[in-house]
Structure 1
Amino acid sequence: MEITRRSLLAALSATGLLAVIPAQPATAAGVAAGSTRLMANTVAVFAGTTESNSRPETAAKLAAVDNVARTNLRAMDSAGPGELFAGLVLGSNEANLNSAFQRLYEIALATCTPPGGTPSDLYGNTVTQRRVLDGLGWLHDHYYGDQSKGYYGNWFYWEIGLAQHISRTLVLLADEVRAYRPDLAQTYVASMDAYLRNGIDGDVNLDSRFHTGANLADITTNRILQGALLGEEARIRKALIDQLTVFATIDPYHLDHGVTDGYYADGSFIQHASVAYTGSYGKGLLTRVVQTLKILDGTGFAHGGELVPTVRSWVQNGFAPLIFEGWMMEIVKGRAVSRTDSGYTDVAVVVEAVVDLASLASGADAAALNSYVKHIRSTSRGTLDPGRFVSPVSVVRYADIIGDPAVPAEDLNAAARSVAFNAMDRNVHRRPGYAFALARSSERISKYEYMSGENLMPWFQGDGAYYLYLSGQDQSQAYGVDYFTTVSPYGLAGVTAPVEQRRTVPELYGKPYYDNPGHPLNFTSSSESQNTYVYFPRGTDQRSGGAVLGAYAAAGMVQSGDVADRDRHLLPDDFVVYRNATAIKSWFLLDEEIVVLAAGVGDPAGRAVTTTVDARTAAPGDQISLTGMLRGGRPWSGAGTGDLAWLRYANTTQRTAVGYVFLDTPQVRVSLDEVTRSRRVVRTSNPDTAVTRTVLGVTVDQEPGSEPVCIAYALVPNAGGTQLASYPNGPLRVLANTPRLQAVSHTGLGLRAANAFTPGRHEVAGLRMDGPASVIVQRRGHRGPTTVAVSDPTMGRDTVGVLIRGRSLRKVSSDHGVRVSPAHGGTRVDVDTRHAYGRSFTVTLQD
């Protein structure tokens, strides 16, 4: 079930929407009963039930809830004058105010959580509950209720974070609120409405850039709870209608309210208008909508089951490709790559949502989701701790899935799968034994995300940075925050960067943002200009995309400067702009090889440039070996720079290896260094913890003032030396590597693939294409069928044409919009790419 955003919003007042939101209950009693059920469901989600909490699997979760509450109560006991919690200073720090509300919620949660085998004096303790309500009243009187003193710092806390803790606390203690502080709910709801300053009249504004995607889901869920507290059906219904928009697939050619945040047809997820964000905001949205579906169950306010297939498609097409052996890939985490939580922790959040989604699904969908949960658990090298789940009920459901021998462990991915998330400039390529993840950028998608002192050195993360995950490895030893801590930001794998020293935003401006409200561009902490030029700048070239043919793919990108470099003449004099190096790059994603071509690699400003073939990290105690061969046939000495034919890196401790075949590459420098840095170098709020990694660097260096060069190499995951030594005899061949055209062939696969970057005709190896275009052609056997995939990497062309030279072929099958016709010297394939947004079109041809 796929809803387009356009059709959904057009139907908001039409009867078709009633499939999700039914007609209004006929009586006030119906509204009251629905509100009561909604609040009871909410308590069950967060506190569990007597049945769930009696299970031994929830013991760790219940103990954690109890311990946190008691710690918070001790902090209340020792609070001094003017404090609610000892040492928590309020009045100017919105994060501290958020902590105060969170601690009250955590105490309230313990009083509503049915104990397991050990009785708890907190459960049902009205004295403690009233203490929480008094704390809420005190915070409102002193630090929240006065609108003239509130709304400092980060808008998120005032419109989402604080309201989330407040709303949940009031729902948990709803009975005691009515009995003890009957005015409290109405008072707080009025204040929460007033703090919704990016809304309209205290409600959601779908035209606001602040009320989109995951943020919109959070706001509307808060308002659903508030509506239940007050028994206001209109608030609940309006919040549900607003939240329904996040279920709609974004149509980039017909944006509603100008919103680009959300899920796209190819599985991409975008937040902040242009940031690839499945692994952070995307998982937050997934969690929130699944929770909302649970709290709506049986209330009569919505038929949530109608939306389950849509969320299930997010899991299969949006999340599953990005999760490798229980690890969330770095390419979709934005600034969250600098946080100390690992990719395993990220996936645990997704697993809980999938567990609960499976309970809402039925038949084959439910079975597939259950099997995927077991697959993640069986393949993850990290400990998936259900004690960190939000809901005790989810802990029990997870235990039932894992413990059921009738549930097989099955991936939602095919063993061989290649996914082009062209809507967010990302690629994922999966094979048994490895997964390859690529981050591109363009005029549509940000080069990186920096914000709030997080991800301090992000400058090249969208310039073709890639990550090669090897099966069986503890990915936290290879990637995660320690990768970005110990690997130079100029030397991330896949990156071409000028040799220079850049300064972080706090170093440049003395604060986590650029401040110049008097300038015509109005630079303030959350202004549009801050977003455009500081937080998540986009590239300036439209050519970033590629084609997928079955389980193979070709991707390409023109590396550009960011918008600040382009708009230097518009920016304040003290705004620091950095200029990028240049490169035209392609990645051809095959079975045993990832082939990388780069042309026009250099710098018009004459700076030295370095291109990193790979950067890998290992624990300092791991046993690392480096072997290789020079082009003349002599063994490589294992140090410095050389004319390498191939190189093999092996981590014998982790039992992993990567080979590098240098197809047409200048001399390569290889380094293996022990690096120690503090995690604070990538995020100001990280603990000042020193980490040490053994860092491999494989680079191609260009001297200042040198002419642009071409580079061609292949990554060969899990390769042995004998395999690497065989590549001079095939099967790979570089057919073209220029700024206009890049192409390769693989004789073993019968495959040719090309990326044309400029307008006009491009001819290579029996293919003539109208550029810009991405094309893959495969023919297995002498008389076998020929399959073709075509994509428009600019996302702006109406048609793309390809001539396949040789015998005239007939069409056997094709996607809609593909036309085949005989032509002089071969077969003409014309594809209607208008409004396809980078989607691949395929056709099968036969003699």
Structure 2
Amino acid sequence: MPSSDGVRVARRTLLGAAGAGAVVGLTGLPSVALAGTAKPTDALRQRWFDQLTGGADLDPTDPDIAVAVRRIEKAATSALSTLDTSAGRTVLWKDLASTTASHDVTANFSRIAQIANSWATVGTAHHGDATVADTVLGALDWMSEHRYNTTLTRYDNDWDWEIGAPTQLNNTMVLLYDVIGADRLARLTGAVDFYTPDPNLWRIDRQIATGANRVWIATVVAVRAVLDGDTAALLRVRDALSDVEGGGANSVFAYADAGNGTGEGFWADGSYLQHWMHPYNGGYGKELLNTLSGLLHLIGDSDWQVTDPAAAHVYEWIDEAFDPLLIRGDVVHSVCGREIARPSKQGHVAAQTIIEATLRLIPAAPADTATHLTALAKRWITEDTYRDFLTVTDISSLVAARSVLASAVPADPRPVRHKQYPRMDKAVHRRPTFSYSVSAYSSRIYDYESIQNENLHGWHLSDGMVLLYTDDLGHYSGDYWPTVDPYRLAGTTVDSARLADAAGQRTVSAATWVGGAAVPGATLAAYGMDLRGVGSTLRAYKSWFFVDDAVVCVGSGITGGAATVETVVENRKLADATAAFTVDGARHTGTGTLERVSWCHLDGTGGYVFPTRPTLHALRENRTHTWREINLKYGTDTPVTRPYQTLWQDHGTAPTDGSYRYVQLPMASAAVTRRWADDPPVRIVAADATAHAVRGAGLDAVNFWTAGTVGPLTADGACSVVLTKRGNRSTVAVADPTQGRGTLTVDLAQPLTPVAAVDGVTVTRTRGGVRIGVDTAARTPGATVAIEFRKD
């Protein structure tokens, strides 16, 4: 039988609020007993209030908390200082006066919520101030009459009407619940229910909500239901997360399947897709995690708690969808979508959101999982020396973070691993001194997103773009995206023809060959792409072979293009504008044509080795641009200037069979780079239309574009293979980057015996070797299959 307040406190649930006695910010329970309250949802409302404010027991004299309290107070003071409170006002804030841009509706409610938060938070100058409360209520009344009610015709973006604005309005109503009055509450929650009535559907034409949008919508409905005491709506919210009404096709918790639902959401390999086929772990994915963690916290240990066993996948997302891509406070930008073009999203903001979400998940997690998440959160917080998490996060997360930092659980070691995401055509290589990512696209994934006048110059973000993360933690945060040359992104091979804003966005490639193979438990891998230029005849085969601290880059078959075709070796925003650039041992200005180059080195970044001694072009320049150039919606007109060092190879106009070969040695010294050039431990042994391949001591790695033989490996068709040998043991890692072959066969010209059987793999003896048959149809598309052998 349900308890009188709808909240159960006697047990730990799968996901949700923590037990009584937990620290404020970790607990999901109200800070005071709420027995006998008027609505069965009042305890949940108090829980949400405490999450927003830190609760009644907050100690504003604590130095860290005092900083957070002052930040809340400052935001409210700023909003109050420009708020029009006159009797005949026609706007609340002059800079938010639009009646055609729906963003202003959300922004108005956001500023009102800032004031309300300061009024409700212990220790601010506004706390409990009756005049401030009246000011907030008056602003709500004005918005209700003029901007957000059940009779207005919505305009512009559905997101603002159904998610952005009601989220802020709901929070304000929770914060001022005791003074808002029954009639006003009914009018305002009625407006929320008018625009966002169903946790399963959204948009004016009532589309099925998916991914982050479903969680946002469900949370809006949930908080509104808590305010109204609408328990039936809370049950629908719980069920909407699992898509009970839709038979689970768009469950938030279940791993996405293109054959069941839209394919939006988290996939088993850790990929997150939104807007059908856009990689978005660091955008919509992080927002889903963040909002979901809050919603689970709200309804946990209650009559409306989630009971779906698939909810445990949330913990797996942390390990596979976020941790590999969260690098010392930054999130790999190739999975952040159009958010990279927003000035407010630079500065490690995405990582802050992921950390806050993880902190909310810890209390209700199983003990071992909670310990693991604590270790991760501790590492994430402490390894980011660019942005101090404790000084920018909300009060509840601050308290939770301090609890994590004070715990006896040691920080998780910084990962050393190679991770590929076949479902979203991305790879990341984590080493002790650097991290390196590759961004590609195929017939399965869009190239980039540019909607609502954002990310206007994202043309080449998936043309093999390389992102290199080093000790310069602010590299991609310090106005990188408005100032970098968008036609010369590192790693890309591009047709340099000028393009219109947003040209080619949301385009898939004609190519299926994108992906690679990786040796489990090692940082040895092959990755490649059959590049097709968007709006261009350009085509190229591109490969990256990861050999611990080196990345061997190979390109061949570079053909077509309307203008000069270039492969960009490097385009680095310089932390030091005078950083030394060395060419074959001699200091160089950084600008000019470089003939027969053997190796280069850029101080603070690393080295580059060129085995074919090509002609290269270098440019050291200051680039001045504005955020408005790449984002008309959120950009500013203030010019920003940043220094860059660019290095590229020119393949000419409309080449017929261009190529490149170089080795990138991130964070290597000039001396190490020279040694690589003089005596390379890994050599390129194939670079043609059949295969790209490298060989080193105990290593053969091949990207087969078609059937062929390279060294000891023969493939019956397109595949990626990495063969490693250590002592009398060998490992063969093989994958189908086309994700469409079903079966593949690799012959290995070495007499070996498999150590153990592998599901879906057959091994048969051949003359002088073995034949490996792999059933890829029964596996996650594009995934690596590894077979271990011993020498007889």
Structure 1 residue matching 2:147: 3-state secondary structure:
helix
Specify the SS of the correspondent of 2:548: coil
Cα distance between partner residues in 2 of 1:603 and 1:45? 57
Cα separation, 2, equivalents of 1:241 and 1:538? 34
Distance, in Å, in 1 between the alignment partners of 2:517 and 2:593 is 35
The two structures have a TM-score, normalised by structure 2, of 0.88
Alignment of 1:628-777 (within 5 A): 628-629=583-584, 640-651=592-603, 656-664=604-612, 666-684=614-632, 685-727=634-676, 728-747=678-697, 750-758=698-706, 761-777=707-723
SS in 2 for 1:298: coil
Matched, 1:543 2:513: yes
- Counterparts of 1:635 and 1:64, CA distance in 2: 48
Q: 2:257 matched to 1:252? A: yes
Shift of 1:351: 1.6
Partner of 1:50: 56
- Give unmatched runs, 5+ long, in structure 2: 1-12, 17-34, 244-250
Residues 348-381 of structure 1 show CA distances to partners (whole Å, capped at 9, x for unaligned) of: 2222222222233242322222222222233223
Aligned to 2:41: 35
Given that 2:241 and 2:253 are in contact with CA atoms closer than 8 Å, whether structure 1 keeps it comes out as no
- Superposition pairs for residues 504-653 of structure 1, below 5 Å? 504-505=501-502, 535-550=505-520, 551=522, 552-562=524-534, 578-579=535-536, 581-603=538-560, 605=562, 607-619=563-575, 621-629=576-584, 640-651=592-603
Contact in 1 for aligned 2:581/2:587 (Cα 8 Å): no
CA 1:745/1:154 → structure 2, altered by over 3 Å: closer, same or farther? Answer: same
Alpha-carbon deviation of 1:792? 0.8
- Counterpart contact for 2:200–2:217, Cα < 8 Å: no
Would you say the 8 A contact 1:45–1:295 is kept in 2?
A: no
Structure-to-structure mapping, 1:175-186, within 5 angstroms: 175-179=178-182, 181=184, 183-186=186-189
Q: For residue 574 of structure 1, what is the aligned residue in structure 2?
A: none
> In 2, distance between residues paired with 1:693 and 1:45?
40
Q: CA deviation at 1:125?
A: 4.2
Q: 1:137 aligns with which of 115, 137, 141?
A: 141
SS of the counterpart of 1:215?
Answer: helix
| Cα deviations by residue, 1:220-247 (Å, 9 ceiling, x for unpaired) | 0111112222222221111121123554
Partner AA of 2:159 in structure 1: F
Q: How many residues align?
A: 746
Q: Which has the higher helix share?
A: 1
Contact 1:144-1:150 within 8 A present in 2 as well: no
Asked whether the equivalents of residues 684 and 695 of structure 2 are also in contact (C-alpha less than 8 Å), the reply is yes
What corresponds to 2:492 in structure 1? 495
Measured in 1, the distance between the counterparts of 2:719 and 2:410 equals: 42
**CA separation of 1:77/1:678 partners in 2, compared to 1, >3 Å: closer, same or farther?**
closer
CA RMSD of aligned residues (A): 2.8
- Displacement, 1:140? 2.3
Q: Name the structure 2 match of 1:59.
A: 66
Report if aligned partners of 2:82, 2:93 keep a CA contact under 8 Å in 1. Answer: yes
For 2:366 and 2:91, the matched residues in 1 are separated by 47
Deviation sequence 1:713-772 (CA, Å, 0-9, x none):
11011223333233343311112111331111122xx111111123xx311101011221
Tell me, in whole angstroms, the C-alpha distance in 2 between the residues paired with 1:663 and 1:453: 43
TM-score by length of 1: 0.83
**Matched-pair contact (CA < 8 Å) for 1:441–1:544:** yes
Pair 1:664–1:356, CA change in 2 (3 A) = same
**Cα shift at 1:42:** 0.6
Cα distance in 2 for residues equivalent to 1:43 and 1:327: 30
Give 1:351's aligned residue. Answer: 355
Which SS does the other structure have where 1:829 is aligned?
A: strand
The answer to whether the 8 Å contact 2:565/2:655 transfers is no
Give the conservation status (yes or no) of the 8 Å contact 2:256–2:265: no
Q: For 1:248, what is the secondary structure of its paired residue?
A: coil
Does the 8 A contact of 2:617 with 2:647 survive in 1?
A: yes
Question: CA separation of 1:30/1:424 partners in 2, compared to 1, >3 Å: closer, same or farther?
Answer: farther
Would the alpha carbon gap of residues 501 and 166 (structure 1) be closer, same or farther in structure 2, given more than 3 Å must change? same
Separation of aligned partners in 2, 1:316 and 1:480: 24
The question of whether the paired residues in 2 share the 8 Å contact of 1:31 and 1:231 is answered with no
The residue aligned with 1:469 is 469
- In the alignment, does 2:235 pair up with 1:237? yes
Distance of 1:180 and 1:131 partners within structure 2: 17
**CA shift in 2, pair 1:124/1:776, >3 Å:** same
SS at match of 1:144: coil
Distance 1:59 1:639, change over 3 A: closer
Pick closer, same or farther for the CA change 1:401–1:737 going to 2, 3 Å.
Answer: same
Aligned 8 A contact 2:516 2:525 in 1: yes
**Cα distance change of structure 1 residues 694 and 123 upon mapping to structure 2, 3 Å threshold:** closer
Q: Comparing 69-78 with 705-714, which one deviates more in the overlay?
A: 69-78
* C-alpha displacement of 1:303: 4.5
Q: Identity across aligned pairs (percent)?
A: 27
Q: How far apart are residue 214 of structure 1 and its match?
A: 1.1
**CA distance in 2 between partners of 1:614 and 1:788 (Å):** 32
Cross-structure match for 1:111: 119
Structure 2: how far apart are the matches of 1:58 and 1:184?
A: 35
Deviation at 1:66, TM superposition (A): 2.3
Cα distance in 1 between the residues matched to 2:741 and 2:654:
36
Q: Within 1, Cα distance between the matches of 2:238 and 2:789?
A: 48
- Note if 1:70 corresponds to 2:85: no
Alpha carbons 2:329, 2:384 under 8 Å: kept: yes
**Mean CA deviation greater in 136-145 or 220-229:** 136-145
- 759, 782, 785: which one pairs with 1:816? 759
Change (3 A) 1:183 1:624: closer
Matches within 5 A, 1:136-535: 136-145=140-149, 147=151, 149-179=152-182, 181=184, 183-193=186-196, 199=202, 208=208, 211-244=209-242, 246-256=251-261, 259-303=262-306, 309-340=312-343, 341-390=345-394, 392-404=395-407, 406-411=408-413, 414=415, 416-470=416-470, 472-473=471-472, 475-476=473-474, 478-480=475-477, 482-505=479-502, 535=505
The answer to whether the 8 A contact 1:599-1:711 is kept is: yes
The CA deviation string for residues 148-177 of structure 1, in whole angstroms up to 9 with x for no partner, is x43211121112111211222223333334
Q: Secondary structure at the match of 1:229?
A: helix
**Letter of the 1:718 counterpart:** M
